[in-house]
Amino acid sequence: MRELIFSAEALTTGYGSHAVLREVSFHLRPGEILCLIGPNGAGKSTLLKTFARQLAPLAGTVFLAEQPLDAMSENELAKRLAIVSTERVRGELMRCEDVVAMGRYPYTGRLGLLSEEDRAKVAEAMELVEMTELKEKPFEELSDGQRQRVLLARAICQEPEVLLLDEPTTFLDVRYQLEFLTALRRLVRERGVAVILSLHELELARRVSDTLVCVREGRVDRTGAPAEILTDAYIETLYGMEPGSYGAFFGGGPQAAPESAAPAESARGAAEGFFQNRACPHFPCHSGVPEEDFNCLFCYCPLYALGEGCGGACRYTEKGLKSCADCAFPHRRENYEKLLVRYPELAALAGKK
Amino acid sequence: MDPRNRRYLFGFCLLLFLLLLLNVLNLAIGSVRLSPGGLLAALGGMGSMETGARILLQLRLPRMISAGLLGGALAVSGFLLQTFFANPIAGPFVLGISSGAKLIVALSMIFALSRGVLLGSLAMILAAFFGSLIAMGLILLISTRVKQMSLLVVCGVMIGYICNAVTELVVTFADDANIVNLHNWSMGSFSGIGWSSVRVIAVVTFLAVLLSFLLSKPMGAYQMGEGYAQSMGVDLKRFRLALILLSSILSACVTAFAGPISFVGIAVPHLMKSLFRTAKPILMVPACFLGGAVFCLFCDLLARTLFAPTEVSISSVTAVFGAPVVIWMLLQRKGRRG
């Protein structure tokens, strides 16, 4: 049996004295992918921040190999653990290659000058995520999918043993999601890196991960192999949906994540296109709609993939939550269906731009 | 050679050339014009040009050196603050840090003069440093509550106004003899800086700029974002403290000797980023230092020759050239986003 590379024991974490998650325990071996799933605000990002030591645990310990995380120096930790977070990267006047090269930080000298070896590692990481042709391009001009791959390359450059990814596919349309996860798989296979990531797309989680950790209501609800966990009934419990609504909408079992479904078809297949998650701390995240009609499916609004083409002022908050100021389809019960019908038109319009 | 490296080389050569040119012009031009030959003779210490030599060695040379050093210090201080706040319009002047320094220096000057003591250059720097830190503390306090950068800048400008108002008040009630001296200084000027001050300026500025240069590696990581910097092994607390202290001491040094000078801290880093097409601190710190020196030497030349024998305050000249750059930068950014 391979040794453990990363483990948490009776970990309680949160902000100030407020605990967001209690009594989290699990372990991870090299080459394994562990995926955190659960509703918005359940504490997935908080947990990842604690693993990256950006947040001190309130109780319990995190171990990297056999060593407690807080006993390691900054530089040592940076050489062994890397993170791709939801923090928006400011890449003023940086080319892709510059962003990736930043990953060599823990290995370079006082002034951060790159050696030949560093350059080779940068090139290798860009090759792995297939971004080599774009290395001279300014980072700010990249699409969301390309950015995410560049950030993955940056993390790869850090040559970590453990890689943390906080909702790495959130900004991406289905093609980029697949490309991203393919690059990730390659990384795990070729280098034996252990990965912990949080995902919203259940189908992706099912395909990519070895272990699922379900976070709900301030604790770890279940841990296990994806096939055991991802049943319709459990998904509805996890996300606080009305019984039967998940299967009805997605036609029995999560065949595809909401964003990746061909929207017009799912609209036809949808019984109602409506669910509510009243356990979500942000519920209802928009005003102007009666609470009983408030439709949480908009959290998975496919218009985000269109960017500006969506027509409203759609954006992500710092926490990576979706927030649209003047949406043409507010969160009303019946509107999700209308939106799915309109989606192909909008997508075509955005494509023309 | 890599085209980027060629651009960097060209940038530095251009800056050095301009620096040299402005040095010569600053030494030669004035109420007494000196020919290049005269300059050399005077610098060489030959006796034939006694008045010229005296003007050169006692007035123009120390003024030129201090204008260059302090201009560089101001630009580097601006660059550090922009990195810290992740905001291109942050600078010691707009955030009220220069005005805070000015207030404390004015208070200490008047207090010392009322006891019949003249403040030495080191005491001035310390007073200015203290004032900078107070204003900086206020700004940091506000920044924990105000997340929006434009609001923070507005708060900084307000702090500046308050400090200026108090300074004016203090000056109004001070003894007549002090006022002339103080008034001149609080308008901002490189005039009247003697050799002893130049020595202090040189030591403080060089040390602070050197230390800033040594911070360029963590600064580069910090430019990407706090979380990323931390995950790459930057000790955020220590790094932030170092950034604050260095930018404060640099702007304090300027305020102590030349009074508050506007816009250099914002305009020069932006010009340098455009010239070098990069924001990498390892290039930007030296480039801003040279660029700030060039910018201030140019402005000082205009300040003292434009309406000679009357001198214009250096801050008005830097504003005339600096403010349009800032407006241009804001428009450019807006364009890029929209």
For the segment B57-85, what is each residue's pLDDT rounded down to a tens digit? 778 888 899 999 999 999 999 999 999 88
Buried-state track A114-135, b at ≥16 Cβ within 10 A, e below 16:
eeeebeebbbebbebbebeebb
For range A244-261, the mean pLDDT? 55
Looking at the structure, tell me whether residues A183 and A84 fall in a common domain: yes
Looking at the structure, tell me whether residues A24 and A142 fall in a common domain: yes
State which of A87-101, A158-172, A178-192, B236-250 shows the largest mean pLDDT.
Answer: B236-250
How many domains does chain A contain in total? 2
Looking at the structure, tell me whether residues A39 and A147 fall in a common domain: yes
Determine, yes or no, domain membership for A237: no
Give the pLDDT band (50/70/90) at residue B105: confident
For range A77-104, the mean pLDDT? 87
Looking at the structure, tell me whether residues A86 and A27 fall in a common domain: yes
* E runs forming strands in chain A: 6-15, 18-28, 33-37, 59-64, 67-68, 81-84, 162-166, 194-198, 211-216, 219-224, 314-316, 322-324
Buried-state track B246-281, b at ≥16 Cβ within 10 A, e below 16:
bbbbbbbbbbbbbbbbbbbbbbbbbbbbebbebbbb
pTM of the predicted model, to two decimals? 0.80
Question: For tokens 């005077």, what's the residue?
Answer: B42
A140/B336 CB distance under 8 A: yes
State which of A295-299, A342-346, B156-160, B331-335 shows the largest mean pLDDT.
Answer: B156-160
Looking at the structure, tell me whether residues A216 and A265 fall in a common domain: no
Reported ipTM exceeds the 0.90 cut: no
pLDDT in tens, A169-215: 877 777 777 777 888 888 888 888 999 999 888 878 888 888 999 88
Which chain B residue lies closest to A55 (C-alpha atoms)?
B227
Query: How many Å lie between the alpha carbon of B227 and the closest alpha carbon of chain A?
Result: 7
Determine, yes or no, domain membership for A221: yes
Q: Which of A175, A203, A229 is the last residue of a domain?
A: A229
Of B217, B233, B336, the CB nearest to A74: B233
Query: How many Å lie between the alpha carbon of A49 and the closest alpha carbon of chain B?
Result: 9
Q: Which of A178, A196, A229 is the last residue of a domain?
A: A229
Determine, yes or no, domain membership for A212: yes
Residues 6+ apart with CB under 8 A from B13: none
Structure tokens at A243: 């019984």
B225/A87 CB distance under 8 A: yes
Looking at the structure, tell me whether residues A18 and A152 fall in a common domain: yes
Q: Mutate one of A49, A99, A102 to test the B interface: name it (highest B CB count within 10 A).
A: A102
CB contacts under 8 A, A 134-173 vs B, are 140, 158
Domain that holds residue A208: 6-229
Looking at the structure, tell me whether residues A190 and A249 fall in a common domain: no
Determine, yes or no, domain membership for A236: no
A211-216 and A194-198 beta bridge pairing: unpaired
A87/B226 CB distance under 8 A: yes
Looking at the structure, tell me whether residues A191 and A256 fall in a common domain: no
CB contacts under 8 A, B 233-292 vs A, are 233-235, 273, 277-280, 282
- Partner B contacted by A102 (CB < 8 A): yes
pLDDT in tens, B181-232: 666 666 677 777 788 888 989 999 999 999 999 999 999 999 988 888 888 8
Looking at the structure, tell me whether residues A156 and A268 fall in a common domain: no
State which of A18-22, A37-41, A163-167, B2-6 shows the largest mean pLDDT.
Answer: A163-167
Determine, yes or no, domain membership for A235: no
Determine, yes or no, domain membership for A63: yes
Structural domains for chain B: 70-337 (1.10.3470.10)
CATH number where A142 lies: 3.40.50.300
CB contacts under 8 A, B 143-202 vs A, are none
Report d(CA A206, CA A336) in Å as an integer. 25
Looking at the structure, tell me whether residues A273 and A345 fall in a common domain: yes
Looking at the structure, tell me whether residues A150 and A207 fall in a common domain: yes
pLDDT at residue A218 above 90? Answer: no
Of A77, A82, A102, the CB nearest to B224: A102
